[in-house]
Structure formats: C-alpha cells, structure tokens
Chain A
Amino acid sequence: MGITITGVTKKFGAYPAVKDINLEIPTGDFVALLGPSGSGKTTLLRLIAGLEGLDTGSIIFNGVDFSFKNVKERKVGFVFQHYALFKHMTIFENVAFGLKVRPRKLRPSRSEIKDKVLELLRLVQLEHLADRYPSQLSGGQRQRIALARALAVEPEVLLLDEPFGALDAKVRQELRHWLREIHRKLNITTVFVTHDQEEALEMADTVVVMNHGKIEQIGSPAEVYERPANAFVYSFLGRVNEFRGAALYNDVAIARDSAVEAVGYIRPHEIGLSRFSNGVGIPAEASHVNAVGSTVRVVLKRLDTEDYFEAELTSGNFRELGPFHKGDILYADFTNIVVFEAITDSEHSKEREKVTVGAFSAFT
C-alpha cells in the first residue's frame, strides 16, 4: 500500500515534533527514517500508524484519506521498540491476539487461527517456543515474535520503531538480514525508524534523513551518501572531517569575503596522502597510525593551522606509500572537499557542534 504524506505537522504543547512533512512512499518500498534523537522520526512513524493525531496536513493510504481514522481502522502492523509483548500470554496467544479480537463475523475459526499462528511462527523460526511466556525469551526472539504478531493481522503497511535498538551487535546483524528476507518474501510496504546510519544505508531502499522535525533529504542509500543535499546529511552519514575558517580557505579557492560563513566536509577515505608535495597538498604530521585490518586509519595534524583530521587508506595503498610512522610528514590532498553554507541559526548550530564532536571523537 502506498502512503502519501502531505504538509503534516504535529506539536507537543508548543514544541513542534514534526514540521510540514511531505513524503511519498510507493507500495512495497522499504523505507528508513533516519535521524538523531529528537529529530521527529518516531513521531512521524506514530502519525502514520495513527497512534498520534496530526495537527495539520493529511496522510493518504492508496488514495484514501486516513488522516483522522483511528489506529484500528488503519490496518498497520506496528513493532514497538521494546516489543510490547503481552506478558500474561504465551507466545502463541500473543501472535493469535490480533485474530482473536476480530468481530465474530470476521474472526477465523479456532483451527484456522492455530494454523495461521503456527505458520507465522515457522516464518520467524520460533515454532518450538509457542507455549513459552515472553519473559522466557531472549531479546532477539522477542523481536521476532513481535514481528510475527504484527504480521498476523495481515497489515498492508509494516511500521517498526527502532527495531534493533535494544539488541547486541551480533543479533542485530542477523536480524537485519532476516528482516530484509521477510520483506522480500511478503513484499509489504515497510517503514522503520533508526538512528544508526549504517543500518539505514544497509537495509533500506529509500532513506529519509530527518533533523529537527524536518526532512533533510530523501533518496536511495547511494544517493544520500554520495550526493548529500546539505551539511547535516553529509556529516550525519558516516565519518567526516570538518574544516572552517582559515583551514578551509587554504584547501579550496573560494572567496574569502563571502558574506556567508562556509564549512567544508571531507570523508577520511577521500583524503589523498602522498610523501612529497605535488603543489596541492597541505603538509601534515602523522600523530597516530592504526594499521590493524584492511583499512589503515591515520590521525594527522595540519602544520598550517594545527587542526587534527583523520585519513583512511587501504592497506594496499599504505604499503605502496611506504609504511610511515608517527611523526612523519605527509602531504594531504583535500580536492574532494565539499563546501556547504554554514548553518547559522542557533538551534542548528547546536546540532553542528554535536556533529563536530562526533567527527573529532574518531581521532582519539
């Protein structure tokens, strides 16, 4: 089922959680709502589900206006961040709940319910746990049961709120593949919320980057990563080095007297390193070299502005360059730097600072 969201705004008190959202989700799409905490991504998901009422705008499911329909009528499957499995029911009863609460006329017979539930438990590979209670299951198992329960009502849209947030890294990795697999099998329109850019880029067909209740960019993972629309998207997706002021003017030829403050971003792997100056390089001193694994991470200090930055190169390139050590002088090529207009309003500058800190934390 396709979803069209037009001009949707939701305020909590005076605080706008989402502002004027426009989003088109085609049938069968796998969408990630990606953003930092407080970006309004969960609110948007809850608005789609009907768990929150919207202030303005409309939400249309397949051409039918669902803006003011309640949760029950929307036929969405919702998987909660902490699963919300009913503690007093067995796994079987949890999955059967959506079928058992149907009005008598629409309710399947007891044996039909049983078949359906067992089929879903087979789908999530947890058939053997039917008689257990939720508290007897591990986090990953609970997550899969929560999904089976949501799928039992045959929803036309599946919504997941931070589906892997509370799981450890290994389980998370497994479940990502597994969820993609389920989506491939059922081809049901799926929207999930995450703050993990890696998760969004790896799983989704479409990534919606959100910040401060607004959509910053919509596109395929490759699009948003390769061609970020603005400074926020660039810095939120992956590791970055940030340059501003004198350092930036040394790197690229832009007008110094430009009225707007500029900020430059470059990803560590886009920095070219060489042993000798070739005219474009900025001299820098290696202050830490981490050569474990297939990528070599180097922290360098620019000799012109004393700013630290991080560079990344493959172990092959590292050997080609001739292994260097702490204290060696290298020449860094910043031609791939991307320059954005610095965001000036105070609300955004807070966010920018956070991003900067994030970028620099990679150096320590």
Chain B
Amino acid sequence: MVKQSKRRRVLPGFGLSMGYTVIYLSLIVLIPIAVLFLKATTISLAEFWETITDERVVASYKLTFYTSFVAAMVNVLFGTLIAWVLVRYDFVGKRFVDALVDLPFALPTAVAGIALTAIYAPNGWIGQYFEAAGVKIAYTQYGIMIALTFIGLPFVVRSVQPVLQELDQQYEEAAATLGANSAQIFFKIIFPAIFPAVLTGFGLAFARALGEYGSVVFISGNMPMKTEIVPLLIITKLEQYNYGGAAAIAAVMLVISFLLLFLINFWQWRTARKHQVT
C-alpha cells in the first residue's frame, strides 16, 4: 500500500482519503463491533458455548439464514425481471413503477410487517384463499420469507438496472446472427454480463434480510423453534438483562454473516474481473 501511494497520481490526497476512510470505518463499524465481541467475552467460555448451542438458538440461526437466503433468491429472480421490464420496455406509468421499487426502503419496516400480516393472515385479503387451500402464510416461515423479500426488493433491481441499461443491443444482435435462440442469447450473452451486478444485489438483499427485525416480528408469530428469528432472540435476551448471552448470539451471527458476504463479494469481484480483463 505504501508502494502504491508513492506512485505519481493525477489527483493527490491518497493519505488524506485513506486516513479518513480508516477513521470513519473504525468509528462507525469496527469499534462498535469490537465492543460487541468484548461484551461476549464477559461470560465464560462454557456459558458462551452453552448459549450458542442451545437448541432454540441453533433453530433460530437455521431459520434466519434459510429464510434470508430464499428471500434473496426470490429477489434475484423477480428483481432481475423488474429491472429488465423497466429498462427494455416503454409503457404507461413506467416512472410510477420505477418509484414504487424504492418504497420498501422508505416505509418503516414495522408498518410493512403489520400491512403484510393483515393481508396474509388466515382471514386477510390474500391469506383467506391460501387458508382455503390449506396453506398458512402468516405466522409460518413463508410469512417471514415474504417480509424479507419485501424489504430486500430494491437491492437487486437497483444493482442490475444500470448494468442492463449500459448493455449494448449489438451483442444480442450478434448472437442472433450467429444462430442463437432467445434462451441462448439470454443465458450466454446477457446473463454473464449482468451476473456481477446480480451477485451484488443478492449480497445486499441477503445481508439486509439477515439483520431484519421490524417487519418479521409481526408476521412470524415468534414461535420458539419454529418461527423465531435471531434478532428477536437477541432482543429477548436483552429484555432479560442477559447482555452477555445476547452478545454471544450476535457475535456468532456476525461471524457467519461476514464470511458469507465476504465469499459473495469475492465471487462477484472475480466474475467482474474475468469479464473485463484489461
């Protein structure tokens, strides 16, 4: 890094900007997280192990990662589709739809949770039809997935949209003249080009879903072992003044999340690099 800073650049200020970045990240991200880990060490190793291997905690870890993953995957599928429609077609109300995409960001998540619960509850607008078919949505894992899909929707759309916009149609035309059919053009030409952006969107949506609390608590029903997510468990521990236990659960959650996000980012970086080798 020192070597790099000595290279002559057109714009000066590597030291200043790098220094600012380190301080900023420390104050906002690193120090609070370090304190969290510090807090987790206030309990003994045995206690720590007992807390995190508790049946109920393990079940909540599984549930949180599983539902977040499914929600992020759903967002990849439909987010890409929405981005595609917004970029490729002109229709009445396009701007309106475009603005609608960002709404999950603006809405307080608790409001979203209450609204979704009202709709998907067994006697709700949509829930009643599923209830008739014998499928429960609210107060089950499906409800959690729907809430997590809702709050993660904008990430994939907004990551993929600009890349799709930049994608020159001549590549598709070239593929068509070479005899490729529509599916081949999409999977061999368009998808590889937008894949890094899709991965970024997936990573963001997944991360957002892991930490989500507000919308989920209303729709999940919070049944231990069944629909209890990690953030809820942490809150429960805090309400019992079990700060050490809460920190322990959070620390494990954080490590797993970090590893997953790091892997996704690494993968994203590698595909992006492979596609635009210099």
Binding site for B on A (CB under 8 A): 49, 51, 70-72, 76-78, 80, 82, 84, 86-88, 97-98, 101-102, 133, 135-136, 149-150, 152-153
- Interchain CB contact under 8 A, A150 and B184: no
Flag whether B103 is at the interface (Cβ < 8 A).
no
Instruction: Compute how far the CA of A177 lies from the CA of B176 in the bound complex, rounded to whole angstroms.
Output: 29
24 A–B contacts, CB within 8 A, in A order: A72-B176, A72-B179, A78-B177, A80-B170, A82-B168, A84-B170, A87-B193, A87-B275, A88-B275, A97-B175, A97-B178, A97-B188, A101-B175, A101-B180, A101-B181, A101-B184, A101-B188, A102-B179, A133-B277, A135-B276, A135-B278, A136-B277, A136-B278, A149-B178
Contacts of B193 in A (CB 8 A): 87-88
Question: Which of A77, A78, A86, A88 meets B274, CB within 8 Å?
Answer: A88
Name the A residues within 8 Å of B192 (CB-CB).
88
A71 touches B176 (CB 8 A): yes
Selected from B173, B184, B188, B274, the residue in CB contact (under 8 A) with A84 is B173
> Across the interface, do A97 and B277 meet the contact criterion of CB distance under 8 Å?
no
CB distance from A147 to the nearest CB of B (A): 12
Are B174 and A80 in touch, CB under 8 angstroms? yes
- Whole-angstrom distance between the alpha carbons of A102 and B171 in the complex? 18
Interface residues of B (CB under 8 A from A): 168, 170-171, 173-181, 184, 188-189, 192-193, 274-278
Chain B, residue nearest A75 (CB): B179
> B277, A51: Cβ atoms under 8 Å?
no
A83: min CB distance to chain B, Å: 9
A13 and B170 alpha carbons, distance in the complex (Å)? 21
In the bound complex, residues from chain B placing their C-beta under 8 Å from that of A80 are 170, 173-174
A14 to B275, CA, bound (A): 40
The residue of chain B having its C-beta at the shortest distance from the C-beta of A159 within the complex is B177
Is there contact, CB below 8 Å, between B275 and A71? no
Could you tell me the distance in whole angstroms from the C-beta of B215 to the nearest C-beta in chain A?
A: 37
Known: A84-B170, A101-B188. A150 touches B275 (CB 8 A): no
Given contacts A84-B168, A84-B170, A88-B192, whether A76 and B177 have CB atoms under 8 Å apart is yes
With a cutoff of 8 Å between Cβ atoms, the chain B residues found around residue A71 in the complex are: 173, 176-177
Q: Contacts A88-B192, A101-B179; is A78 near B173 (CB within 8 Å)?
A: yes
Given contacts A84-B174, A87-B276, A136-B277, contact A153 B168 (CB under 8 A): no
Smallest CB gap from A93: residue in B: B188
Contacts of A72 in B (CB 8 A): 176, 179-181
A152 to B174, CA, bound (A): 13
What would 15 more interface pairs be, CB under 8 Å, given A71-B177, A86-B174, A135-B278? A51-B177, A72-B181, A84-B171, A86-B171, A86-B189, A87-B276, A88-B274, A97-B175, A97-B180, A98-B178, A101-B180, A135-B277, A150-B178, A153-B178, A153-B179
